[in-house]
């Protein structure tokens, strides 16, 4: 009880918990639509490439994450545009964007004089780096994104369940696709302070992947994804606080453990039940 009270009254932990809850819900939600479309690699590409925006922010001044969000939004737009291009596969473009963005960022940082301690924060995340201003911005982004989800929900579900059929039926899918790509990209950047550029994709990819081991229905996956996202993030933050561990890796490892747990549960559930004739 003492530990929980201590965490709840510590201002930076309050901010970390509020921020992580909002991020867990948002990225878990995006993950439900991104992972089944086999776009998980996009998360790594966008988050790594957005380091370019962070480097620009550090080099020229201004809020690095705003620059990163701008870079991520642009990448999201480009990826949405080329998703159906048969000559340019999405994974190859993501790879190119990742390499190009990170390389540019490293060169920019090398050209920037002086010690750059904040870079490590952006790479792996830190509890201490989250300010109340970050939380207010995150709340605004959260509300707008949920509103857009409400508008695009049905189309997102239909195109995720059966993309080709949605196309054949002529359903208007463009707006939902651009929302998914750009929204995911910006949401990833919103979580960079917590998990860092290197590990933020864990919050997008692992909760749904884990939930999908235990349930097959969309509704079941959605509920379980959100539960796992919240549990994993909060557990990781508490472990990070108690044992003084780097936040991003702590959260990411909790998610990996949850995923393995769900795989085991899924295997047990799918094991054929022996009938009475087998009970010798």
Positions that interact with another protein (CB under 8 A): 86, 157-158, 161-162, 164-165, 167-172, 174, 217-218
Angstrom CA distances, 218 to 4, 204, 215, 255, stand at 34, 16, 8, 20
**Closer of 82 and 256 to another protein (Cβ):** 82
Pick the closer one to another protein by CB: 216 or 267: 216
Q: What element of type H or E holds 55? A: helix 51-60
Residue 154: Cβ-neighbour burial (10 angstroms; 0-12, 13-18, 19+): exposed
Residue closer to another protein, measured from CB, 161 or 264: 161
CB of 219 to another protein, least distance (A): 8
Select 139 or 165, whichever has its Cβ closest to another protein: 165
Token couple for 69:
């969000």
Q: Name the token pair of 40.
A: 């998980």
82 or 108, CB closer to another protein? 82
CB of 164 to another protein, least distance (A): 7
- Smallest gap from residue 14 Cβ to another protein (A): 39
Least separation, in Å, of the C-beta of 155 and another protein?
Answer: 8
CB of 171 to another protein, least distance (A): 5
CB of 151 to another protein, least distance (A): 13
Q: Tell me the DSSP string of 172-240.
A: --HHHHHHHHHHHHHHHHHTHHHHHHHHTHHHHHHHHHHHHHH--SHHHHHHHHHHHHHHHHHHHHHHH
Nearer to another protein, 221 or 233 (CB): 221
In order of 90, 192, 227, the CA distances from 230 in angstroms are 30, 17, 5
**Spatial separation of the C-alpha atoms in residues 235 and 230, rounded to whole Å:** 8
- Closest by CA to 128, choosing from 203, 239, 16, is 16
Q: Which is nearer to another protein, 158 or 231 (CB)?
A: 158
- Min. distance of Cβ 34 from another protein in angstroms? 19
């Amino acid at each position: 009880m003492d530990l929980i009270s201590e965490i709840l009254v510590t201002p930076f932990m309050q901010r970390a918990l509020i921020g992580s809850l909002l991020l867990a819900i948002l990225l878990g939600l995006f993950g439900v639509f991104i992972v089944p479309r086999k776009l998980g690699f996009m998360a790594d590409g966008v988050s790594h490439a957005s380091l370019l925006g962070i480097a620009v922010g550090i080099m020229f001044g201004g809020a690095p994450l705003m620059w990163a969000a701008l870079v991520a939004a642009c990448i999201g737009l480009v990826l949405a545009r080329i998703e159906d291009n048969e000559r340019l596969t999405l994974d190859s473009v993501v790879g190119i964007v990742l390499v190009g963005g990170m390389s540019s960022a490293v060169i920019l940082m090398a050209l920037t004089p002086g010690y750059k301690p904040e870079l490590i924060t952006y790479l792996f995340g830190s509890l201490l780096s989250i300010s109340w201003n970050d939380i207010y911005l995150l709340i605004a982004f959260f509300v707008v994104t949920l509103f857009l989800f409400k508008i695009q929900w049905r189309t997102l579900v239909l195109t995720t369940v059966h993309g080709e059929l949605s196309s054949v039926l002529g359903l208007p899918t463009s707006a939902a696709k651009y929302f998914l790509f750009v929204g995911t990209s910006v949401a990833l950047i919103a979580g960079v302070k917590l998990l860092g550029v290197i590990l933020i994709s864990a919050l997008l990819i692992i909760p749904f992947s884990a939930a999908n081991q235990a349930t097959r229905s969309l509704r079941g996956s959605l509920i379980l994804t959100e539960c796992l996202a919240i549990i994993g993030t909060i557990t990781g933050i508490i472990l990070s606080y108690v044992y003084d561990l780097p936040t991003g890796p702590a959260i990411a490892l909790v998610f990996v453990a949850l995923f393995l747990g769900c795989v085991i549960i899924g295997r047990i559930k799918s094991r054929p039940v022996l009938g009475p004739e087998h009970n010798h």
